[in-house]
A and B are shown apart, each in its own frame.
Chain A
Amino acid sequence: MWDLCTYALETAKLRGASYGDVRLMHLRQRDLTTKNGQVGTLAQGESIGIGVRVLANGTWGFASTDRLTREGVAACAAQAVSIAKASALAKRSNVVLAPENAYVDSWQSPFRKDPFEIPVETQLALLLAADGEMRKVKGVTLTETSMQFRKIDSWFASSIGSRIHQRKVISGCGIGATSFQGDEIQKRSYPNSFGGQHALEGYELVESLDLMKHAPVIADEAAALHAAEQCPEKFGTLILAGNQLGLQIHESIGHPIELDRVLGQEANFAGTSFLTLDQLNKLKYASSIVNVVADARLDHGRGLGTFAYDDEGVPAQCTDIIKDGTFRGYLSNRETARLIGLERSSGTMRTESWNRLPIIRMTNVSLVPGTWDYDDLLADTADGILMDTNRSWSIDDRRYQFQFSTEIGWEINGGKKVRMLKNPSYSGITTEFWNSCDAICKFDYWTLWGTPNCGKGQPMQTMGTGHGAAPARFRKVRIGTAFSKQ
């Protein structure tokens, strides 16, 4: 592998590249699903190839190929240089990279059980059993389960001398029960919607979820939601379960801190950001109890944003994003770090596959745990609504105004969960919302949630990101907007 990487870099240099890096990647994937007691998807795949990124004439070019011969990678490298030179036809200034050291290293994400070594029969048997538990519940009209496993090997080499091999093992699993009655479709998912929980873990993730225990619970809830009261429209107190708060962090903190968005590089598609450069170290992003970090290090947990080096050869780091409520940092790469005068990239360049250019992506953007016991938080809430498990999510292209709805809500009255609510939703303006946070649960209730489906870039890339969150409380939030009939 290293021979091909080196040959690509040498070819790029000979063709006129002033800088080059290559990612030779081998991706393996297994997907299992069931529906209504039958196997749905049963598939596995592999993809191997190389992507070559170069600077020539001061601008970028990228080419990729699955022809892994010396001739194939040489042609690919030459094409990358040729494309870079074409880029220079519409150039404003030369790209300059923030300095970075060269690294020679090999790293593997820790896991206890290789999911590709677990028999597929075992995996399917668990899914079918959970599916069967959900189908026992009267009123459930559709049951779905899924497992997804990935093993990614990447060999990164750059013209500054880095040679980094990384192996990542990723697992995901979830179940869902849907109930159609009258003129209403209700759904409950576990442990999260849209495929469940995903993490940089082995099969131990699946075993930790205890699907058989939770399958009848969510099935009961899906059927019961039809008879539940409609979530009211009001301004009030909101408690978010950790899985929903993870997505709230993703949309209203994770995306606006991407420096490529801030600098206009995503203006045509993903959008820009309200976090203009003048806001750094000044904006009161959140209440003073709110601390948020972007942490790709293993110390933070085994999340979808955990690695040893990013896809630009920069070591994993922890960056303060919000410190005591004040906005403190961006997600950057070597190019954008240099553009705003930072000494170094924060190490967030990530690529979906060998045929995609690395771009700035979230790592693990997490809310630091607070001090509250969950039971104390509920007991301290005289009148509020608890919302759990995302159903829909939307935010404007500068990341100010958002609206989320969840699968289930619970009315909190006098410090207790008193009744189920259907069709819960809430909305707001990002900074107003985060400044209304007055309680965050402690580490015992904190989970590093995985968001496996974050889309960004042109061509589109899907990336997994991590979001540590514990349940938290927000005051004077607009509730119930999505179902308003006004």
Chain B
Amino acid sequence: MTIAPGARGKIGRKKAEHAELLAPRELRGIIETVLRLAKSTGVAETEVHVDEVADALTRFANNAIHQNVFERVVTVSIRTVNGGRTARATTNRLDEDSLLATIEASLSLAHSEPRDPRLLPMPGKQRYRPVNRFVQATAALTPEDRARAVRLACDLAAKKGQVAAGIFSSGQSQTAVGNSRGLFATYCETHSQFSITMQEDPAASWAKADFADVREIHPQKLAERASEKAHLAVKTQELAPGRYTVILEPAAVLDLVGFLFYDFAATAVQDKRSCLNNRMGKQLFGKNISIRDDVFHPLQKGAPFDGEGMPRQKVLLVDCGVPKNLVYSRASAKTARRKPTGHGFALPNEYGEAPMNLVFSGGDSSVEKMLASTDRGLLVTRLWYIREVDPYEKVMTGMTRDGLFLVENGTVTGAVKNFRFNQSLIEMLKKVELMSPAVRATGEESFEMVVPAMMVRDFHFSEVTKF
């Protein structure tokens, strides 16, 4: 892809090069202004979040750009605590009058509720391990850069007699949290995505990548991969529903297992809405499954602190198939007499916390090796419209999409009409036979994770659709 002149090789955040975002002193200045105004109105404790995004997205369909957008937003969110009561008010107006009105709105809301004896005082100053995910090459990407890359992908589609649709996005964001007890944390990152669907009537296939550094995204390679698979999928046969050995590409794994991780919130277990109730410490999954939450992993993104500004800890969630640990906000940690892990959402909320930086241990196989070892099975590109059917057995339903292929005697022999699945995630993770090394994967149903491709036996397809 084409990168803006002068951008290549400059990785790291430099003040003069990110004019779109507020300077660090401006960010801090907003927080200090709010804390000063709140103190002058007699608020006992105040917490301020400042979030800023400058995002652009180029969207294409029918081999042409049809939408092309840019947004810039700064949001200030203020939580006050007075007399054991807390509430939050948010604005995107940064003048002092508006900030003062927002403080007063928060106070007024809090005044309306009963006193909460379990409300904790705000945390004090914390120490954070730094992470650097701001890449100047991404921040410098222009609409013209994105349009040229899209043009190449569309030209490829036209040359192959196909129709391309997708997005190429890039942007930068920063977040800061500070409170009246001296806590202050800040984080900025860049992000970029390229996603493409190649359609060759009546088939389609898909490829997508997501990285902080746009130079790790190769739009033309993604377009070629989607194009080849779409061509392979033109002629389909219909198979009977049933249990099949499946090879799930990383995006399919990600979108499916993503629904499991809200159950690792201590609050979900305390509320008895988690599938891990009565199952912690037991051999729930196969012994080859180990999963941790690790915001510092080199393939991860996201702030190294949570909604209260607590530092995120690495947490081993599943060790050799046994759920070992949950993640804790300060409140759920106090209830459970544990230490907070830095995974809490901004207060007040009823959900508590969740792990957001999942890393699977993976294996040493590959999709190619999985194919070679399969007598009869299905290769799954992507899953779609996944929803929870049974919250305790964690049965999920959804569809295959954009390329479902029959594998016979070690090779792909053709395409298959799409299936609906009804599959327990718990049962699935007991039946993982092979895994590739974990990679940064991106889909559409869950947030990005570091997951492997998986070969799973007895995956349950319940019905077939018409294409």
Contact = CB atoms under 8 A, between A and B. Distances in A.
Interface of A: 33-36, 38-49, 59-67, 79-80, 82-84, 86-87, 89-93, 119-121, 124, 128, 141-142, 144, 178, 180, 183-185, 263-269, 271, 274, 355-357, 391-398, 400-401, 403, 405, 423, 425, 427, 429, 458-459, 478, 481-484, 486
Given A61-B69, A481-B462, 10 more contacts: A42-B87, A83-B69, A120-B109, A142-B272, A391-B389, A394-B397, A396-B399, A401-B466, A423-B390, A483-B389
A483 B422 CA distance: 8
B68 A62 contact: yes
Given A394-B398, A397-B384, A486-B242, A481 B59 contact: no
Given A44-B109, A47-B92, A394-B398, A265 B420 contact: no
A84 B163 contact: no
Nearest to B152: A90
B323 to A, nearest CB: 16
B142 A124 contact: no
By CB atoms of chain A within 10 A, which of B59, B199, B204 has the most?
A: B59
A73 to B, nearest CB: 12
Interface in B24-82: 55-75, 77
A267 B242 CA distance: 28
A314 to B, nearest CB: 19
B393 A183 contact: yes
Contacts of B62: 92, 263-265
B350 A41 contact: yes
A295 B273 CA distance: 39
Contacts of B197: 267-268
B69 A63 contact: yes
Contacts of B150: 90
A91 B348 contact: no
B57 A124 contact: no
Nearest to B61: A265
B7 to A, nearest CB: 17
B397 A86 contact: no
Given A42-B113, A86-B143, A482-B389, A47 B75 contact: yes
B128 interface: no
By CB atoms of chain B within 10 A, which of A67, A82, A120, A423 has the most?
A: A120
Contacts of A405: 389
A85 to B, nearest CB: 8
B442 interface: no
A401 B385 CA distance: 11
A268 B69 contact: no
Per DSSP, chain B at the interface is strand
Contacts of B399: 394-397, 401
A423 B388 CA distance: 12
Interface of B: 55-75, 77, 86-93, 105, 108-110, 112-114, 116, 118, 142-144, 146-148, 150-151, 154, 163, 165-167, 169, 195-197, 199, 204, 206, 242, 271-273, 277, 348-350, 384-393, 395, 397-399, 401-402, 418, 420, 422, 444, 460, 462-467
Contacts of B166: 268
Nearest to A403: B397
A421 B47 CA distance: 48
A394 B397 CA distance: 7
A63 B73 CA distance: 11
Contacts of B349: 40-41
Nearest to A431: B466
By CB atoms of chain B within 10 A, which of A41, A42, A48, A62 has the most?
A: A42
10 contacts: A43-B109, A59-B64, A64-B71, A82-B143, A87-B58, A89-B147, A89-B148, A90-B150, A90-B151, A265-B62
A67 B93 CA distance: 9
A48 B384 contact: no
Contact of B90 (A46, A91, A269, A392): A46
A396 B385 contact: yes
B61 A44 contact: no
A38 B72 CA distance: 36
A427 B277 CA distance: 30
Given A40-B349, A401-B466, A265 B147 contact: no
A313 to B, nearest CB: 18
Contacts of B63: 92
A35 B271 CA distance: 9
Contacts of B389: 391-392, 405, 425, 482-483
A40 B90 CA distance: 17
B354 to A, nearest CB: 15
Given A66-B73, A83-B70, A397 B401 contact: yes
A458 B59 CA distance: 8
A252 to B, nearest CB: 12
B458 to A, nearest CB: 11
Nearest to B94: A66
**Lowest 7 A-B CB distances belong to which pairs?**
A40-B350, A45-B90, A86-B143, A120-B112, A401-B465, A92-B64, A267-B165
B92 A394 contact: no
A400 B61 CA distance: 22
Nearest to B465: A401
Contacts of A264: 61-62, 163, 165, 199
B463 A64 contact: no
B375 to A, nearest CB: 22
Contacts of A401: 399, 420, 463-466
By CB atoms of chain B within 10 A, which of A36, A44, A265 has the most?
A: A44
Contacts of A46: 90-93
A83 B143 contact: yes
B147 A484 contact: no
Contacts of B92: 46-49, 66
A66 B348 CA distance: 26
A62 B143 contact: no
A44 B89 contact: yes
A87 B169 CA distance: 13
Nearest to A392: B387
Contacts of B277: 180
B151 A89 contact: yes
Given A44-B109, A483-B390, A427 B463 contact: yes
By CB atoms of chain A within 10 A, which of B71, B242, B385 has the most?
A: B71
A309 B129 CA distance: 51
A356 B147 CA distance: 20
Nearest to B62: A264
A66 B74 contact: yes
Contact of A267 (B61, B116, B147, B418): B61
Contacts of B195: 268-269
Contacts of B418: 396
Contacts of A90: 60, 64-65, 147-148, 150-151, 154
